[in-house]
Amino acid sequence: MDSTSTDGREHEQDRERELSHVVELVASPEPSDSVSEDQITPLLIQSDKPKINIFTVSYPRRKSNKDQIARLVETETSPVWQFVVWVWGGSRYSGLLCMVSSAVIYCVMEVLLDVCSAQSLPLFEVAFTRCVIISILSFMWLRRSGEPIFGPTNVRNLLVSRALTGCVSLLAFIYCIQRLPMSQAMILSFTTPLMASVAARFILNENLKIADVAGIAFSFFGVLFLLGSPTSIQGVSVEAKTKGVHVFAVLIGLVSALAGGVSYCYLRAAAKASDQPVGTIFSFGLLSTAAVAICMIISQDFVLPSFYSFVLMIFLSILAFFAELFLARGLQLEKTSKVANIQYLEVALYQLWGMGSLRYTLSFGKVVGCILVFVSACCTMYFGPEKEME
C-alpha cells in the first residue's frame, strides 16, 4: 500500500513538471558589450520624430458662434465688452437689440449735431467724408478678421445689388433734403422701413404677419405726429419755404425710400449668405464714395472745413459706421418686417431729448407720437424674434 501511494505521488509530480515552464535567469559574468547596448538604447530613447498619420493628427473642429461668443465673454472681463458681445450674438433677442443699438447711435449723432455748433458744410462734402471713413473702417475690419474683401464669389451679385440700391437711395435723399423742408424730407425718409417690409415679401419671400404690419403702422403714425409740422425739426431751408414743396422732389424722396427698402433686402440676403455683415457695408461705402465724389466735383460745392468741424465730422462718421454695422447685423439675424419698426426709435428718442432739454415745447402730438413708437417697439420685443425654418 505504501509503495503504491508513493509511486502515485511521484507520478503526479512528474506530470506537474512536464506542464510547468521553468525560466532561469543566468547572469553573464562578462560586462555587457557595445552590441547589446546598441540594441537596448533605441528602445529607451527615440531620437527620430515619430511618424504622423491620419489617426494621430488632431483636426480642430469649427466652433459655433455661440461657443465663440461664450469664449470671448469668459476671457474678457470688461462689463461693457461683455454687454456688446451679448448684444451682437449672445441672446435670442440679438437681432432686435442690434436694431435698437443702431437707432440709439443715430439718435446720438443727431444730438451731437444739435449741440455742437460747427461750420456749415455742403451735404456732398459731409456724405463723401462719411463714406470714406465707413469704407476704411470696414476694410480694416475685413482684413483683421481674414474675410475676403469683396466677399465670396457666390455673394458678389448680392453685394453689387446692395451697393447700387444703397447708393441710389443716398443720392436721391441728398437731392430731396436740398429741395424740401427738413421735416418733410425726414418723413419721406422714414417710409423706408415700410418699403423694406413690402419689398421683403417679394424679394425674400418673407411672410408679412398682421402683427408686423400693425407695428410698422403704429410707429409710422407716431412719426407723423412727431414730424407733422415743418417747425418740429429745425433746419428748414429758406429756399424750400419760398418755393414750397415740389412734386418732383417728393417723387425723388419716394424713390430714395423705395431704393433704401430694396437695399435692406439685398443687405439681409448678402449678410446671411456670407455670414459677414461688414462686407455689405464695404461694398456700399466703396461705390458711394466714388459716386458722391463725382457729384461733389460736378457741383463744385466744396468748403475747406475748420479743425473743429473736421474732427466733429470724423467722429460722426465713425459713429455712422457702427450704426450701419448694428443695422446690418440686425437685418442678418432677424426678419426685415420684424425689425423695421425699431428704426423709428431714433425719432422718438431725439424728440424726448429735445423736450427734456427744453429745446422743443411739450405738445400733445409729440407725446402721442412718442407713446405710439415706444408701444410698437415694446410689443415687438415682447413677442420676441421670429423663428425661421431653415
Distance CA 45, CA 8 (A): 55
- Of 51-65, 78-92, 279-293, highest mean pLDDT: 279-293
- Domain membership flag for residue 42: no
Q: Is the pLDDT of residue 364 over 80?
A: yes
Query: Considering the entire predicted model, what is its pTM?
Result: 0.75
Top-confidence residue, 150 or 257: 257
Report pLDDT for 68.
Answer: 52
Report pLDDT for 239.
Answer: 47
Band (pLDDT 50/70/90 cuts) for residue 329 is very high
Q: Is the pLDDT of residue 7 over 70?
A: no
Report pLDDT for 324.
Answer: 94
Report pLDDT for 88.
Answer: 85
pLDDT in tens, 103-112: 999 999 999 9
Distance CA 103, CA 326 (A): 9
Report pLDDT for 254.
Answer: 93
**Structural domain boundaries, residue 320:** 65-383
Mean pLDDT for the stretch of residues 146-162: 88
Q: What percent of the chain has pLDDT over 70?
A: 74
- Domain membership flag for residue 47: no
pLDDT in tens, 30-50: 555 544 555 555 544 554 545
pLDDT in tens, 206-228: 888 888 888 888 889 988 888 87
Report pLDDT for 363.
Answer: 85
- Domain membership flag for residue 259: yes
Q: Is the pLDDT of residue 233 over 50?
A: no
- Domain membership flag for residue 56: no
- Domain membership flag for residue 37: no
Distance CA 86, CA 72 (A): 10
Report pLDDT for 67.
Answer: 54
Band (pLDDT 50/70/90 cuts) for residue 288 is very high
- Domain membership flag for residue 91: yes
Report pLDDT for 381.
Answer: 84
- Domain membership flag for residue 122: yes
Report pLDDT for 390.
Answer: 38
Report pLDDT for 14.
Answer: 60
Report pLDDT for 63.
Answer: 45
Top-confidence residue, 339 or 50: 339
Top-confidence residue, 5 or 369: 369
Answer for the pair 249, 175: CB distance below 8 angstroms, yes or no.
yes
Q: What is the tally of structural domains in the chain?
A: 1
CB under 8 A, 24+ apart: contacts of 143-151: 145/276, 145/278, 147/274, 147/276, 147/278, 147/279, 148/279, 149/282, 150/279, 150/283, 151/270, 151/274, 151/276, 151/279, 151/283
pLDDT in tens, 155-188: 889 999 999 999 999 999 999 998 888 888 889 9
Mean pLDDT for the stretch of residues 260-277: 91
- Of 10-19, 38-47, 65-74, 292-301, highest mean pLDDT: 292-301
Report pLDDT for 268.
Answer: 93
- Domain membership flag for residue 309: yes
What rounded mean pLDDT belongs to the chain? 79
Mean pLDDT for the stretch of residues 316-330: 94
Q: Is the pLDDT of residue 153 over 70?
A: yes
Distance CA 64, CA 354 (A): 43
Report pLDDT for 19.
Answer: 52
Q: Is the pLDDT of residue 375 over 70?
A: yes
pLDDT in tens, 270-282: 998 888 899 999 9
Report pLDDT for 148.
Answer: 87
Report pLDDT for 274.
Answer: 85
- Of 22-26, 213-217, 244-248, highest mean pLDDT: 213-217
